[in-house]
Chain A
Amino acid sequence: MTVRIQEEEFDPGTEISGFCRGRRDIGAVVTFTGIVRDVKDTLNHMRIEHYPGMTEAALGKIEAEAVERWDLGDSLVIHRYGDMKPGDLIMMVATAAPHRADAFAAAEFLMDYLKSRAPFWKKEITQSGEAWVDATEADEAALDRWSS
């Protein structure tokens, strides 16, 4: 289980090829990569702020919960903060398991929780000004399917 919070860019190819290398018990690796998007073609850049200390603790807790629910061999969460341009990578999640169903489910679980339970805040800086991104009800509702 690894959590990395960093300002600098990362290379998902390097991360994936190093993840679980040499393990003989892993049959599936699932990865998700989050990218800055510019839907309205007005975004100059996105700024992400976080709560050092709590971020690591919250993500560690979410990962521990995933390990309890699924048969996981390992997991990796990388999340950036600071300024990013459209097309830049924001974060990635990787999960490794003996079977793909566990790897897929755990990756979705990690993403759903990370979106609304890890202390990150996004601000969009556009040509006409800047605005904090609002949390959506859909993000909160996504957690309900895991609460059984």
Chain B
Amino acid sequence: MIEVLYFAWVRERIGIPREKVETSATTVMDLVEELRVREERYAMAFSDLSALRVALDQELGEFDAPLSGVREVAFFPPMTGG
């Protein structure tokens, strides 16, 4: 079970800020594929991965990163702080 979080327009497209996902995905990319086929809103949110960033347990990571031991995955657009 992984806690999946969405921020900014990713959250708006999917319609929820977070959810628990029962998954056997071994990498972030596998998880993305599982989410994409769920519903149109997920497919929309994940249509262009170059426009997305991912954090694993609150640290920036890569889409090919393994999910073993990871409790929290977050998807969001490039950050715009400051």
Q: How far is the CA of A132 from the CA of B12 in the complex (A)?
A: 11
**For the side of the interface on B, what is the size category?**
10 to 19
Q: How far is the CA of A98 from the CA of B76 in the complex (A)?
A: 39
A-B contact count (CB 8 A): 71
- B46-82 to A contact mask, C-beta < 8 Å, 1/0: 0000000001001110000000000000101111111
- B10-35 to A contact mask, C-beta < 8 Å, 1/0: 00000000000000000000000000
A residues 121-139 touching B (CB-CB < 8 Å): 121-123, 132-135, 139
Q: Are B78 and A116 in contact (CB under 8 A)?
A: yes
Q: Are B82 and A51 in contact (CB under 8 A)?
A: no
Q: Are A51 and B81 in contact (CB under 8 A)?
A: no
**For the side of the interface on A, what is the size category?**
20 to 34
Q: Are B58 and A53 in contact (CB under 8 A)?
A: yes
Task: Select one of A57, A120, A134, A140 contacting B81, CB under 8 A.
Answer: A120
Q: Does A79 sit at the interface, judged by CB under 8 A?
A: yes
Q: How far is the CA of A115 from the CA of B79 in the complex (A)?
A: 7
Interface of A is mostly: mixed
- A86-121 to B contact mask, C-beta < 8 Å, 1/0: 000011000000000000000000010011111111
Q: Does A15 sit at the interface, judged by CB under 8 A?
A: no
> Given the known A-B contacts A51-B55, A57-B59, are A114 and B81 also in contact in the complex, defined by CB atoms under 8 Å?
yes
Residue numbers of A with Cβ under 8 A of B are: 34, 48-51, 53-54, 57-58, 79, 90-91, 111, 114-123, 132-135, 139-140
Residue numbers of B with Cβ under 8 A of A are: 5, 7-9, 55, 58-60, 74, 76-82
